Structure 1
């Protein structure tokens, strides 16, 4: 074959291209191994330039063989594999990656079609030559026998190599189809937690707890290390101990912390194949030192336990504990499925309730990567599902449309003997508010209400018990509370209540209040409803959904209406009793095990 310029080879395709490249560069036909290798490269999406350069770099190539355009092609190909080329030509790299994947998809489509036709024809010939029929149940065994039949190979010598290659590919695809893969659960959030699980942590805790009860062994657990540039498989036995320690309220706090610290130390060390900070490439821009995102380099260099057929599920505090950049790069290389969770978008939609813009910007970046990374997303309420879809549309963020609302679980009903009533200084009737203490939860409104109640009822004012951890944006709450001695008599803040003690509060409170400005789901409200405890909630959609529209509500900022509703409940015990009976009659509860099972099935189903 004679050519005037190396670009003429690009007009050829498939087998003709490989044969032509050997002829022009090495002046011979390719051997069977070389032909199969480069056909495989083409099928995987490698460019023709890559194959020409590989052949030209072989020892057989005669450097005196001057072909127009070859030297420049070799130089350009070398630049493409330079780290600095990748750093400073990201846009070009993205275009080439898209082009490569399109070529790969096209070749895979052709390969599957050709494979199907050739397998059918070969099996028909096999039936004719061997005089027996091939049942569907033993197609694969018969096909393997066919491949080992040397006499028959002589009759199909013209396409023997291609058929063998496609047959191997067919076997692999079939085995992967039959095998559901492993579910890998990210437990980084749990390893960072050292107190009874609440909120989002409760969700991942209950799901992991359920997964440990399943008989199948196709579940693994992993965590990111402290610097979040590597991940490691966590032993099942260690996860079981961790769940027991987090679940048991009777475990000494120091012992709990020591056990969890031991778990962290066991998984947070470097191994061969994990990458250190030397892989971060610094450069200077406008006088500032900047670090390139090294996730792509790390992903290509690290040992990863995931495979294309595996499902990765991460539903914790991922903006704080996961590394979506690294997972995105690993997914591009491996092709696993990722299942994420969307709880709420308050930092994006209502940033006024957050401490600063830094977290809001970080959360928006997390949301964009969640949408890009996820094949499926579960949401905790109908409100959060609608919110997620609206954010994707309004911000023009691409992502999966496979989104499912799965309602969270309610606590198990257990009678608890409580011995800390005097120690907690709880006197007579009381009202509970179970929630983290932060600006969005609107504790300041309740302090204003209880001030007015104390003026009306004096020492007979029911206590308000606020149960939850202290968070951000509550300086006004602390100032208001500690400046008023009467408030300190009738309002208590408890930040160390375990699950057993919380059960007692739900069982013995007069009613509960939830005046939050916004929620993804009203977990405290649904827990109160499980114990037939009447609630007054704000009109935010998630709280109405959690109470199944059975309880009285009003706008979060309407102080007068809040006072009237709470005062009515205090002065009218029959109102409380009738609401309690309404809950028992109409409220539909859901167990955490049901939630976890539903999420597990959603994460692992194969689709249509």
Structure 2
């Protein structure tokens, strides 16, 4: 009797996660939840272990993990005095800090002259640093060429005595693959055993905009996507923008181009009871507030909102609503957090909430005047979709995939145009009738995709790869 082929969903990322589900984690968790509830006889679960390879995960462990992620929260109203970004700082910035300290010790005129001389040569310094890194990597590759070849079939050191996948199976990975998986091993096992694979492309931000990411990530992620192209039978992208970016990159790299389809991410939050909303959340937000849900990092562009608000304060605008940032501090924002801490103009106007629950987030969306999303680039823009799902208007940037999310139901601005943001923030804050009309239209016209629909699409693609 022939064995029945299976779909294997990789749950490595959610097993290692210890905070409320966001972004990539929410996608993996929601698809796992759907599989547990509706596809128990078809879908199995696995995780990747760097020593043992792929290991089967019991459904009960997956359900327990999803429950744990859903209940890990203790809303914190973060004082800007205690907020700090992770310590990783790009080398160019560390060198700049050292140079500034040296220049400060020189006579003022000489220091200013040297500062101007170096400032116009920063791009050259960055290019030199990156060139030295690439030269160092080239030396490593020259010494060990076998470990660097593509396709990647010669580099696995994992134990394979216990083989998990079988011919005809489909392996689905939706998680943080660039950090947690060995695509060398996947390619090797796929060639030996004959199973199919589906991976997910969220965005190509580290390749397209490495200066908005921590460290020198462009080469690492270009290689990751090249490896993925050799491993994948199909790639699901979370937007037409991400799909387009991926296809352009793979063509430039000269890799195979797997079948690529677009999935829509769910935008509904689980139903919740207002009785479960933390008092700290309600007290911090107050009666009138504008909401921005996002990790606090350079790419998300919180600084445009901060500068817009300071302009409004300087202009003498009264009764401004609070600006509530919901998200953990990321890298590269220490100077911004310092501005929030020391700028008396916004000390009582900007509040930062971290580690909020779904109940808190639901309440914040429903009670906000409107939401904002000034991001410089997105693979999708989940916060825009969540705002619309909650029936709330959003003022968003006009770049990348964001117009795919909001359609003509929201207003778009240049993310760099501080004055325009200031004007529209003031206008919508003082025009409740316009917001009410926008909300009526959103409730009437916006068809919020559910996470169940996302999972159905993903597993539908996987089932199409199973032997007929």
Calculate the TM-score normalised by the size of structure 2. Answer: 0.79
Contact 1:229 1:298 survives alignment (8 Å)? no
Q: Is the partner of 1:388 in helix, strand or coil?
A: helix
Shift of 1:456: 4.1
Is 1:355 aligned to residue 178 of structure 2? no
Contact 2:75 2:278 survives alignment (8 Å)? no
Contact 2:376 2:415 survives alignment (8 Å)? yes
2:59 to 209, 217, 236: 236
2:261 to 400, 404, 420: 404
Contact 1:300 1:330 survives alignment (8 Å)? no
Is 1:219 aligned to residue 40 of structure 2? no
Cα distance in structure 2, aligned partners of 1:422 and 1:208 = 30
Q: Is the partner of 2:365 in helix, strand or coil?
A: helix
User: What does residue 517 of structure 1 align with?
Assistant: 376
Structure 2 residue ranges without an equivalent (≥5): 77-138, 148-152
Is 1:382 aligned to residue 240 of structure 2? yes
Larger Rg: 1
Shift of 1:346: 0.7
User: What does residue 175 of structure 2 align with?
Assistant: 316
- Deviates further, 502-511 or 343-352: 343-352
Contact 1:300 1:333 survives alignment (8 Å)? no
Mapping of 1:138-177 within 5 angstroms? 175=2
2:452 to 593, 601, 606: 593
1:16-60 deviations in Å (ceiling 9; x for gaps): xxxxxxxxxxxxxxxxxxxxxxxxxxxxxxxxxxxxxxxxxxxxx
User: What does residue 474 of structure 1 align with?
Assistant: 333
- Deviates further, 213-222 or 573-582: 213-222
1:450 to 298, 309, 334: 309
Cα distance in structure 2, aligned partners of 1:449 and 1:434 = 17
Mapping of 1:485-524 within 5 angstroms? 485-524=344-383
Cα distance in structure 1, aligned partners of 2:214 and 2:449 = 34
Q: Is the partner of 1:479 in helix, strand or coil?
A: helix
Cα distance in structure 1, aligned partners of 2:423 and 2:253 = 41
1:470-523 deviations in Å (ceiling 9; x for gaps): 111212311221121232210011121111110000010000000000000010
Contact 1:299 1:330 survives alignment (8 Å)? no
Cα distance in structure 2, aligned partners of 1:305 and 1:345 = 31
Contact 2:281 2:360 survives alignment (8 Å)? no
Contact 2:247 2:257 survives alignment (8 Å)? no
1:540-592 deviations in Å (ceiling 9; x for gaps): 13111111232111111111111111111012111111111121121111111
Contact 1:410 1:526 survives alignment (8 Å)? yes
Contact 1:430 1:462 survives alignment (8 Å)? yes
The structure richer in helix per residue is: 1
Shift of 1:248: 2.9
1:562 to 408, 421, 432: 421
CA 1:303–1:429: 2 relative to 1, 3 Å:
same
Cα distance in structure 1, aligned partners of 2:345 and 2:146 = 56
Cα distance in structure 1, aligned partners of 2:341 and 2:333 = 12
Shift of 1:397: 2.2
Contact 1:228 1:322 survives alignment (8 Å)? no
User: What does residue 393 of structure 2 align with?
Assistant: 534
Is 1:331 aligned to residue 190 of structure 2? yes
Q: Is the partner of 1:485 in helix, strand or coil?
A: coil
Q: Is the partner of 2:345 in helix, strand or coil?
A: helix
User: What does residue 187 of structure 1 align with?
Assistant: 11
1:242-281 deviations in Å (ceiling 9; x for gaps): 111112357999xxxxxxxxxxxxxxxxxxxxxxxxxxxx
Cα distance in structure 2, aligned partners of 1:504 and 1:246 = 19
Is 1:344 aligned to residue 203 of structure 2? yes
Mapping of 1:257-268 within 5 angstroms? none
Cα distance in structure 1, aligned partners of 2:41 and 2:74 = 29
Mapping of 1:229-308 within 5 angstroms? 230-248=53-71, 293=147, 296-298=155-157, 301-308=160-167
User: What does residue 369 of structure 1 align with?
Assistant: 227
Cα distance in structure 2, aligned partners of 1:423 and 1:570 = 19
Cα distance in structure 1, aligned partners of 2:281 and 2:356 = 15
Contact 2:156 2:185 survives alignment (8 Å)? no
User: What does residue 394 of structure 1 align with?
Assistant: 252
Structure 1 residue ranges without an equivalent (≥5): 1-171, 254-284
Cα distance in structure 1, aligned partners of 2:293 and 2:41 = 37
Contact 1:189 1:316 survives alignment (8 Å)? yes
User: What does residue 161 of structure 1 align with?
Assistant: none
CA 1:300–1:478: 2 relative to 1, 3 Å:
closer
Cα distance in structure 2, aligned partners of 1:252 and 1:467 = 10
Cα distance in structure 2, aligned partners of 1:250 and 1:192 = 16
Calculate the TM-score normalised by the size of structure 1. Answer: 0.62
Cα distance in structure 2, aligned partners of 1:228 and 1:367 = 23
1:90-147 deviations in Å (ceiling 9; x for gaps): xxxxxxxxxxxxxxxxxxxxxxxxxxxxxxxxxxxxxxxxxxxxxxxxxxxxxxxxxx
Cα distance in structure 1, aligned partners of 2:26 and 2:45 = 17
Shift of 1:348: 0.6
